[in-house]
Amino acid sequence: MLTNTFSAEDTPSNAAWTILDTEDQWQAFSQPVLNQDIQSSQQLVQSDLLLDGLRCAACSGIIEQGLKSTPGIVSARVSMSKKRAVVVWSPSATLPSKILTAIHDLGYSAFPATQHEDDLVSLQKQRAAFWRWMVSGFCMMQVMMYASPTYFTTPGEISSDILHLLNWASWLLSLPVLLFSSSAFFSNALRDLKQKQISMDLPVALGIIITFIVSSAATFDPSGWWGNTVYFDSLTMFVFFLLSARLVEVKLHRKTLGALDNLASRIPENTERQNPDGTFARVLNTKLKVGDIVRVQIGEAFPADGKIISGNTSVDESLLTGESTPIQKNLHDEVIAGSYNLRKPVCITLNTIGESTKYGQIVNLINNAAVEKPRLSKLADRVARPFLIFVMLSAAIAAALLWNIDHGRALMTAAAVLIVTCPCALSLATPAAMLASASAFVKRGILIKRIQAIENIADVDTIIFDKTGTLTEDHIQIKAIATKAGLTESAALTLAAAVAQHSMHPISRALVNAHKASDLPTPEIELNGIEETSGAGISATINATDASLLEHSGIGNELKLGSAIFCGIAENDSNTQQVYLANKQGWLATFTLQEAIKHNAALAIASLKEAKLAIELLSGDRSSAVENTATQIGISQYQSACSPEDKLLRLQALKREGKKVLMVGDGLNDGPILASAHVSIAMGKGVPLTLAHADYVFLNGDISQIPHLIRHAKQTMKIIKENIAWAIVYNLISIPLAFFGILSAWLAGLGMAVSSLIVVANALRLTKFASPETDTHSDQ
């Protein structure tokens, strides 16, 4: 159907586009494709484009097919809702300017999707859309004013001169509505005709033109066969309703994407970079390179992933990880792009920049999420075309049947049929609901990579959890303390914490945290000669002590905290993780450690069990640790020491039983099962490859969201079905009414606009992540 012959000789329609052809320019909106097939030796590039002129779901198909038939372009995905395209192309075969030209030749326009342009373009478009709507609304009010005398008077009561003048005034004020406000309908209909495509703009444009011609004829020659009735009031009202529906639609999209944009707008524009002579100068972040040394001031965001080379500070990574407490960063610690420097200016050397940073990856996940089209939406697209042909035929038949009775009425009936059948509601039904849900998820720190996953998670019956990092935190806590006779637990902990606070080792931090949590007084212990042996322990000499703590315990002044070998004592239990405190004479205390179970894990599992879901725990960890966790959380079905293959086997067994499995994990070992499960959730702190295979990413790792996520997904599917059913029922009722001339054109316009508004409003209910139990804290 589309015969776009694009050859290498084609020159771009706009010479300015060729500036994008240099590699450093197109890299601003492109990135290399990482997981490409090994067969293709050439490096592929994925570019984001903003599209203009998209009106309906059919447009995305036109662009996708047009681009795919262009040489050098491997794949193209268009998001109708985001008005964005993701194009995968080969730099050796084509150039960005040619891609833009190809889109232009299809009748649309495209821009590189860099953040800055995004904002400007959308602002201009918002204003233009609002202005069109305002013109149609205000003119509608005036035209209604001129039309109202005829509503309340009997024919002949108003003198024909005045009536003529009123019609003239209506005609004048209808002109801006016709020529300006509804110009988009005409240009889109014209483009569709050129492309031999049918979209909903065609019947709308036809309806508007027919109504205007009939009314104009009645204004200028009231004695003609078309009668003396004018329909300017219907016309303006119809355009106003249509534009209102679209304005609301745009508002919905903005609301939905607002959460995503918030993430994208966090990259700072410029940073202080160190010059060769050691001074600092502010440069655009786009000018930064790997290896550059930059100084990040308090309150500024880190421009890229890097390593601290001077100073120490604490950073806020809440945007990227959901971690709300500031994280201490010392010399040589890694910092991530988009996190904020809270305490002291630090210098970092940049390791990773742009799209490959953790931040860039999150942004990419979001882009992929919006581009994926749900299967049901495609169903709506398929329905739209035959539906429209049927509608056009109905209009033609209606006009033909009534033509001999009353020409004017025949045309008005045809107009009514055309107007009433705009498939807006039909094509809006699925994307509106899915996008609204996606926006609700994002507010809760849940990113959806494939938007179809909403459909998938709604019907799961089995959930498999990974343990480490999923059900448990990635830090450890003290489970039990055993002490030598004469030494109290609190004294042992105080001593251990005093030594441990000089180390950043996770176990040391666990000891310090346990001490803080136990509300014990800060020990007045001065330590000298602190020496940390990496991977073994710390030794220190007590200089001055709190007498009450140590006097009668005979501890001496040399302390060792670490492994059994480091402390020179025998290990007594190899099944659990332990750390020992010892002095010159030997053993003082044993601290048994365990992974900290997420505080809401048990609650989440209970809630999932209540929802009649089967729950399993598959872990690669030792059996005792898995058993501990499973019993504490309340999972009866568990398996320990699983290799990735074991996990996959278990999944396949469940699949054979016809189960629909939701996999929740975070580690690299969960990657395969995450990729092959019916639907999967990865924790935001997981490895990139795991995240790439998961359908959902929980940025803050809060598994208590899972029951709500499933409930919300079910609600979304319910609303999509409601929407589609409503769109079909509405059309089934209204077409016969319009056909038999019962429905006048303005009523048809109203009906159509309202049907779209209802679908959108129904979907908007989903932007709030509300569930019965969480109403009290759903606004967090």
List of residues contacting other proteins (CB under 8 A): 123, 127, 130-131, 134-135, 138-139, 142, 145-146, 159, 161-162, 165-166, 169, 172-173, 176
CA distance 184 to 128: 11
Beta carbon of residue 130, minimum distance to other proteins (angstroms, whole number) = 6
Count Cβ neighbours within 10 Å for each residue of 734-772 and write b for 16 or more, e otherwise.
bbebbbebebbbbbbbbbbbbbbbbbbebbbebbebbbe
| Shorter beta-carbon distance to other proteins: residue 191 or 246 | 246
Q: How far apart are CA 41 and CA 8, in angstroms?
A: 21
Q: Cα separation of 514 and 493, whole Å?
A: 8
The span from the CA of 120 to the CA of 232, in Å, is 36
Shortest Cβ distance from residue 589 to other proteins (Å)?
56
Q: 């240009």: which residue's tokens?
A: 187
To the nearest whole angstrom, how small is the minimum distance from the Cβ of residue 218 to other proteins?
18
Question: What CA–CA distance (Å, rounded) separates 470 from 495?
Answer: 32
Nearer to other proteins, 171 or 340 (CB): 171
Q: Of the candidates 215, 175, 210, which has an alpha carbon nearest to the alpha carbon of residue 189?
A: 210
In the complex, what is the shortest distance from the CB of residue 142 to other proteins, in angstroms, rounded to a whole number?
5
**CB nearer to other proteins: pick between 131 and 390:** 131
Residue type, 425: A
Enumerate the H helices of 644-744 as residue ranges: 644-656, 671-676, 688-693, 705-739
DSSP line for 47-106:
EEEEEES--SHHHHHHHHHHHHTSTTEEEEEEETTTTEEEEEE-TTT--HHHHHHHHHHT
593: three-class secondary structure by DSSP: strand
Q: Are 300 and 341 in contact (CB under 8 A)?
A: yes
Shorter beta-carbon distance to other proteins: residue 244 or 513: 244
Report the residue number, 161 or 519, with the smaller CB distance to other proteins: 161
Nearer to other proteins, 92 or 148 (CB): 148
Residues 6+ apart with CB under 8 A from 636: 630
- In whole angstroms, the minimum distance from the beta carbon of 498 to other proteins comes to 47
CB of 250 to other proteins, least distance (A): 13
CB of 287 to other proteins, least distance (A): 31
Tell the smallest beta-carbon distance from residue 143 to other proteins (Å): 9
Give the number of C-alpha atoms closer than 13 A to the C-alpha of residue 150, restricted to the C-beta side.
19
Instruction: Find the length of the chain.
Output: 780
162 vs 331, beta carbon nearer other proteins: 162
- Compute φ and ψ for 592, nearest 5 degrees: -90, 130
Partner residues linked to 350 by β-bridges: 306
Assign residue 163 a region (left: φ > 0; alpha: ψ between -120 and 50; beta: otherwise): alpha
Smallest distance, other proteins to C-beta of residue 52, A: 19
Give the residue with the Cβ less far from other proteins, 29 or 232. 232
Report the distance separating Cα 399 and Cα 215, nearest Å: 17
Per-residue b or e along 393-409, where b marks 16 or more CB atoms closer than 10 Å to that residue's CB: ebbeebbeebeeeebbb
- CA–CA separation, 758 and 451 (whole Å): 22
CA 731 vs CA 417, 478, 750: distances in Å: 10, 65, 13
> Which residue's CB is nearer to other proteins, number 25 or number 228?
228
In the complex, minimum distance from the CB of residue 159 to other proteins, in angstroms, rounded to a whole number: 8
CB of 162 to other proteins, least distance (A): 6
Q: Of the two residues 165 and 400, which places its CB atom closer to other proteins in the complex? A: 165
Q: How far is the CB of 215 from other proteins (least distance, A)?
A: 17
Residue 258 vs 506, nearer CB to other proteins: 258
The number of beta carbons lying within 10 Å of the beta carbon of residue 660 is: 16
Q: How far apart are CB 125 and other proteins at their closest, in Å?
A: 13
Quick one: 128 or 649, whose CB is closer to other proteins? 128
Q: Give me the numbers of helices (H) and strands (E) for the chain, helices first please.
A: 25, 27
168 or 280, CB closer to other proteins?
Answer: 168
Residues with Cβ < 8 Å from 595, sequence gap 6 or more? Answer: 467, 468, 472, 473, 476, 477, 625, 629
The two three-digit tokens of residue 285, written as one number: 């972040």
| Number of other residues whose CB lies within 10 A of the CB of residue 144 | 15
Nearer to other proteins (CB atom), residue 135 or residue 447: 135
**Whole-number minimum distance, CB 176 to other proteins, in Å?**
7
| Minimum CB distance to other proteins smaller for 173 or for 618 | 173
For residue 347, what are the CA distances in angstroms to 68, 275, 296, 334, 480? 46, 13, 6, 12, 41
Nearest distance, CB of residue 442 and other proteins, angstroms: 21
